[in-house]
Amino acid sequence: MPDLQPLSRRSVIGGLTATAIASPAYIRPGWAQGKRIVIVNSGGAMGDAKRKALYDPFTKATGIEIVTASGPDLAKIKAQVERKDVEWDITDLNDAWVPAAARLGLLEKIDESIVNRADAIPQSKHDYAVGGTVYAAGIAFPTNRLGGKAPKTWPEFWDAKGFPGRRGLRNRVTDTLEIALMGDGVPASQVYPCDVERAFKALERIKPAVSHWIAQTAQTVALIQGNETDFTYTYTTRVKDLQAVNVPIDYSFKQNILGIGWIGALKGTRNRDAAMRFLAFTMDKDRQVELSNLSGDAPTYADALAKVDPATRKWLPNIADPDNLFVNAAWWDSRIEELNTRFKEWLLT
Amino acid sequence: MQIRTTNAHVRDAAYAMPAALFMALLFALPLFSVLHQSLQQENGGGLTIQAYAKIFTTPLFLRVAYTTLEVSISATVFSLLLAYPIAYFLAKQSPRRRALYMILVLVPFWTSSLVKSFSFMVLLGQSGIINQMLGAFGIAPVKMLFNRFGVMVGMSHFLIPFFVFPILTSLRSQPLELAKAAAIMGAGKLRIFLRVTLPLSLPGVMAGALLVFILSLGFYIIPALLGGRQDMMFANLVDFYTREALNWPMASAVAVLLVAAAALAAMLLSKVRGGSSILSEEGH
């Protein structure tokens, strides 16, 4: 029998190292060292803008690779965290989600020793999320029909006789309730705490003039283009993108609903440190200016506004305008399920 | 049916094992976990029937249940009216032509619901192809989308093949001599159809109707895309409780009731003459 040399520890380790070096970079377990994080965003134009303004520069600065997934979804986040199988490290979050996600323990607390956001506007601060952008929503209308006559404020939108036309609103209660109150004449400063009964009465009044209760954001403007609606609730960025390709559509900057584009880290992420560093990166003023230039949403630093390209700046909402309304997610937190259920019931009748 | 040995039964059971295992793992087990979820309290804790109690007192659920039934029944009737003539026509063709036409029946079935829904928007919209044609004749645009009509068009487009095949089986199993005998006795074509062909095809109609009804109960994307604000069905309600309200016990309870309704209808299906042709090979 030949003399078999027993495997030494050193030869095994040496062999493994050689294999690791020989294998291509993409099969090395980079995530184990926090060299790769997964971010879920809504994709589309905003996803592209974030790739250019945030993700690629972050990788360049830190060596941490960023992989994106499409479609943030609170139910999927809940499932990942509860099963302790967290696949997404960072997620974009809607206004209404942040308090609920924090309450349910789905997000990591923001590490203030890493994330510096002292100068940011107060509306963009939350213990469990950072506010990277300010978006604005309001009324959009076609410029090639109805002789250009369109409602520019919510009371005008609610005036079906004065401004005849098919209206589009969202099929969810958040934003819609606030709009209804403003349509009924409540000034922005007095919308919260919402008078729910008054809002539903106002909704009842406009119901016959609403042809679409829209589920998907993309549909808001698509229905105007397709001549299915005349006036719709939508976002500045949607109208800006359409005007850029000469679609006859315009937008009213009066009485806009302002919201924050939130970003948070999933509770139990294996890359907590890298995730916090990324959140800190999104709160960098220059990065926010770049993102604003590319996306059309506003930065969350008041003094960064002046640095945005003039062509983009005219599309940015005026955060200081008292007629604009910042969404109050904290007011919604304890009420959202009950009011959303009531709203869905109301839609069916 | 011939008498079989125990060995044959064991052998047959062995053939069914892979599929049975597959279903147990990927259907029964998840279904059990949904059932378990539906018995959870909203904020954790022990088992409870809280979600079911809440469902039956929520106007939202009762309305959606009513809409689901209404939509499912009307989609079944609408599809039957369109499918019966197709089956009748197919039954009269030579086998070669029938095979060709059957492919045509199946083509819409092979197209994704999502793609079809968007195509219907192009066809039926206010500025769609049909309304543009009507406009050329000076006819005002007809609202065919984002209402119950849109849902019916979308659903029957998907459901027709499920109706055509059981009816076709029923029609083809009729002895040709029966119609000939009726003709010799002096019956006209209409009378032969009404008194002989139609009654004999009813088992196929019943089987198809139950099958189509069961499928209708679970529709989701078509009512969401082509329907109006009132066209909310069970599956859309499950989606609402899962993703918007984040109330998973409620979502699971609605899902359990939906499966129960479908199972009940499937049991009825096995009791109908002709239903067996779908559930086993013994009919035809």
Q: Summarize pLDDT for B209-227 with one digit per residue, the tens.
A: 999 999 999 999 899 889 9
Predicted local distance difference test score (pLDDT) of residue B275:
54
pLDDT of residue A18: 43
Min mean pLDDT across A20-24, A295-299, A311-315, B91-95 is at A20-24
pLDDT at A238: 93
Instruction: State the number of CA atoms in the 13 A half-sphere of A200 facing the CB.
Output: 12
CB contact under 8 A, B246 and A211: no
How far CA A124 is from CA of A127, A259, B145, in Å, comes to 10, 9, 41
Would you state the structure tokens that stand for residue A128, as one six-digit string?
């469990």
DSSP H helices, A158-227, are: 176-183, 196-206, 217-225
Give the chain B residue whose CA is nearest to the CA of A82: B44
Which pLDDT belongs to residue B199? 92
Residue B283 phi/psi, 5° resolution? Answer: -65, -70
Average pLDDT in the A314-335 region? 91
Which residues between 84 and 143 in chain A have a beta carbon less than 8 angstroms from any beta carbon of chain B? 100, 104
State what percent of residues in chain B have pLDDT above 70. 93
* Average pLDDT for A136-152: 93
Domains in chain B and their CATH numbers? Answer: 56-279 (1.10.3720.10)
CB of A152 within 8 Å of a chain B CB? The answer is no
Interface contact flag, B230 A347, Cβ < 8 Å: yes
Residues of chain B with Cβ-Cβ distance to A211 below 8 Å are 146
Q: Environment class of residue A282 by beta-carbon count within 10 Å: exposed (0-12), middle (13-18) or buried (19+)?
A: buried
B58 in contact with A at a CB cutoff of 8 Å? yes
CA of A64 vs chain B CAs: smallest distance (Å) = 31
User: Is B147 part of the contact surface with chain A (CB cutoff 8 Å)?
Assistant: no
Q: Which residues contact A227 (CB under 8 A, 6 or more apart)?
A: A145, B125, B126, B127
Lowest-pLDDT choice from A121-135, A293-307, B32-46, B73-87:
B32-46
Provide, as residue numbers in chain B, all residues whose Cβ is less than 8 Å from the Cβ of A340. Answer: 240, 244-245
| Closest to B162 (Cα-Cα) out of B226, B94, B219 | B219
* B122 vs A176: which has the higher pLDDT: A176
Cβ neighbours of residue A14 closer than 8 Å, sequence gap 6 or more: none
- The torsion angles phi and psi of A84, rounded to 5 degrees, stand at 55, 40
Q: For the residues A280-285, what does the mean pLDDT come to?
A: 96
- For B251, the closest chain A residue by CA position comes to A75
Q: Which two tokens stand for residue B16?
A: 């069914």
Residues of B in Cβ contact (< 8 Å) with A228: 125-127, 145-146
Chain A residue numbers touching B245 (CB-CB < 8 A): 336-337, 340-341
Query: Which two three-digit tokens encode residue A236?
Result: 């500045």
A344 min Cα distance to partner chain B (Å): 7
- Which amino acid, residue B68? T
- Cβ separation A228–B240 shorter than 8 A: no
Chain A residues whose beta carbon lies within 8 Å of the beta carbon of residue B224: 215
> What SS3 state is found at B247?
coil
Q: Which residues of B touch A335 (CB under 8 A)?
A: none
Cβ pair B196, B182 in contact under 8 A: yes
DSSP B47: B
Q: Nearest CA to CA, how far is B148 from chain A (Å)?
A: 13
State mean pLDDT over A101-115: 95
* Confidence band for A21, pLDDT divided at 50, 70 and 90: very low
Question: What is the rounded CA–CA span in Å between residue B61 and residue B59?
Answer: 5
Q: Tokens representing B79?
A: 């599809």
Q: What is the CA radius of gyration of chain A?
A: 24
For the ranges A38-47, B99-108, B109-118, the lowest mean pLDDT is seen at B109-118
**Tokens of residue A245, six digits:** 């390709």
Measured between CA atoms, the residue of chain A closest to residue B129 is A226
Angstroms from B61 CA to nearest CA on chain A? 9
Q: B271 or B267, which is more confident?
A: B267
Query: What value of ipTM does the predicted structure carry?
Result: 0.77
In B156-215, the residues whose Cβ lies within 8 Å of chain A are: none
- Predicted local distance difference test score (pLDDT) of residue B271: 79
Looking at per-residue pLDDT, the higher value among B44 and B185 belongs to B185
Provide the pLDDT confidence category of residue A286 given band limits of 50, 70 and 90: very high
Domains annotated on chain A, with CATH? 31-134+259-313 (3.40.190.10), 136-258+322-348 (3.40.190.10)
What pLDDT, in 10s, does the model give residues B5-53?
677 778 888 888 999 999 889 999 999 999 999 998 877 678 899 999 9
pLDDT of residue B91: 94
3-state secondary structure of A251: strand
Give me the residue label for tokens 């948070």: A264
A76 or A32, which is more confident? A76
pLDDT value for B73 = 96
Q: Each residue of A252-269: pLDDT tens digit?
A: 999 999 999 999 999 999
**Partner-chain contact A347 B63, CB within 8 Å:** no
Instruction: List, as own/partner pairs, every contact residues A285-289 make where C-beta atoms lie below 8 angstroms and the sequence separation is at least 24, other chains included.
Output: A285/A119, A287/A53, A287/A54, A287/A57, A288/A132, A288/A133
SS (H, E, C) A81-144: HHCCCCCCCEEEECCCHHHHHHHCCCECCCCCCCCCCCCCCHHHEECCEEEEEEEEEEEEEECC
pLDDT 10s digits, B116-157 = 888 898 899 888 899 999 999 999 989 999 999 999 999 999
Kindly state whether B4 is in contact with chain A, defined as any CB-CB distance less than 8 angstroms. no
Given CB atoms, is A241 within the 8 Å cutoff of chain B? no
Counting Cβ atoms within 10 Å, is residue B67 exposed (0-12), middle (13-18) or buried (19+)?
Answer: buried
CA distances from B279 to A142, B207, B218, B265 (A): 55, 10, 19, 13
Residue for token pair 């203030």: A112
B64 interaction partners in chain A (CB closer than 8 Å): 348
Whole-Å CA distances, B6 to A213, B10, B13, B21: 62, 6, 11, 22
pLDDT of residue A14: 44
Nearest Cα of chain A lies from the Cα of B18 at a distance, in angstroms, of 29
pLDDT at A28: 41
A292 class by beta-carbon count within 10 Å (0-12 exposed, 13-18 middle, 19+ buried): buried
CB contact under 8 A, A348 and B58: no
Is the pLDDT at A19 greater than 50? The verdict is no
Q: Say whether pLDDT at A32 is over 50.
A: no
**Local confidence band at A43 (pLDDT 50, 70, 90 cut-offs):** confident
Average pLDDT estimate for A270-295: 96
Give the tens place of pLDDT for each residue, A180-226.
999 999 999 999 999 999 999 999 999 999 999 998 888 899 999 98
Is B114 at the interface with chain A, CB within 8 A? no
Instruction: List the structure tokens of A220.
Output: 């808001």
Eight-state DSSP code of residue B73: H
Whose structure tokens read 């000469």?
A246
Distance CA B208, CA B210 (A): 6
Structure tokens at A24: 């291509």
> Three-state SS for A1?
coil
Q: Is a pLDDT exceeding 80 seen at residue B254?
A: yes
Q: Are A205 and A268 in contact (CB under 8 A)?
A: no
Which pLDDT score, from 0 to 100, does residue A292 have?
96
pLDDT at A147: 83
